[in-house]
Amino acid sequence: MLDKAALMIKARKMFKDVSDLPTIPVIVSRVIKLLDNHDSNPDEIADLILSDQVLAARVIRVVNSPLYMPGSKITSVKRALLYLGFRSVREMILTSFFVDGFKRQEQPFDMNVFWMHSFGVGSMSRRIAELVGYSDTEMAYLVGIIHDIGKVFLGHYFKEEYGEMLSTINYTGTTTYDAEMEYFGTTHCELGLCLAQRWNFPPVYCDVISHHHTSSLAIEDPLLTAIVTLADFFCLAYTISDSVAKATKPDRSEEYAWSLLKQRSHNPLPGNLGDFFFLLNDEYVGVFQEVNQLFNTMTTT
């Protein structure tokens, strides 16, 4: 029986013992707050973004990337905001913060593989959200990207132990989740939750991070958690991955997630999970291209 409370106590202790946690730059949280509010004035947001040249340059570069393909080149931040919409810009800024914040950190696993997995799960979550008629597809995308953020914490602050644990997994074939439990007495889900709470993420993001491997325990938005759980499962089972991603074999929560998805879907779904994944397989070529484009755009400065 999973004792989530005990895992949480252990995670909080590990979390408390570390110093120098990356923080979200003030400017980024201010921009995100403004973008959250649909009544915000685009001029005000554009001015704020422009006060940070790196952020402004990134917005312009991303809006002109093949991912968004504007008809003609967009050169002003305000036009980028209007073209992409507040939500997309918010997502883009948060995503690039994650890539940047952890990019230079040394990890006992391949960070590129980690980010490709994260973006893959993000894109696949958005696809599944569309397929089932979930209302906030952009949110599905964003939480998909950040679902495994706890692994970056473990890899950075417990580098040796985590590296050792990952190499053991390669021999034993156990899941990362179970191995983390054995090695640390807690997992990337609880540690990710600590990090997300520290950064003041909305409760629904925190809940998905905390429960993407135990989807039956989700409280805030069980359907969203189920979407990310299945996207994660799909990406691990059907795509090329190695090291940290491969080691994270999905396990107990996908059947629950699938039954919830079927119950709550606004559109008809195939009879079983295997057929559903078969359907997703067709989507994956597009997702893979999207992930590559996004990843290249985010990682070039």
What minimum distance in Å lies between the beta carbon of 144 and Fe ion?
9
When the beta carbons of 190 and 232 are compared against Fe ion, the nearer one is 232
What minimum distance in Å lies between the beta carbon of 256 and Fe ion?
15
Window of 72-80, 226-234, 271-279, 290-298 that interacts with Fe ion by CB under 5 A: 226-234
* Interface with Fe ion (CB under 5 A), residue from 180, 221, 232, 290: 232
In angstroms, rounded to a whole number, what is the distance separating the alpha carbons of residues 169 and 123?
27
What minimum distance in Å lies between the beta carbon of 115 and Fe ion?
11
When the beta carbons of 44 and 255 are compared against Fe ion, the nearer one is 255
When the beta carbons of 148 and 207 are compared against Fe ion, the nearer one is 148
When the beta carbons of 62 and 139 are compared against Fe ion, the nearer one is 139
Q: Rule CB under 5 A: is residue 148 a binding residue for Fe ion?
A: yes
Nearest to 102 by CA among 92, 112, 93: 112
Q: Is 269 exposed, middle or buried (0-12, 13-18, 19+ CB in 10 A)?
A: middle
Q: Which of the residues 1 through 60 are near Fe ion (CB under 5 A)?
A: none
When the beta carbons of 221 and 232 are compared against Fe ion, the nearer one is 232
Window of 21-29, 95-103, 146-154, 194-202 that interacts with Fe ion by CB under 5 A: 146-154
Binding residues for Fe ion, rule: CB under 5 A, are 148, 232
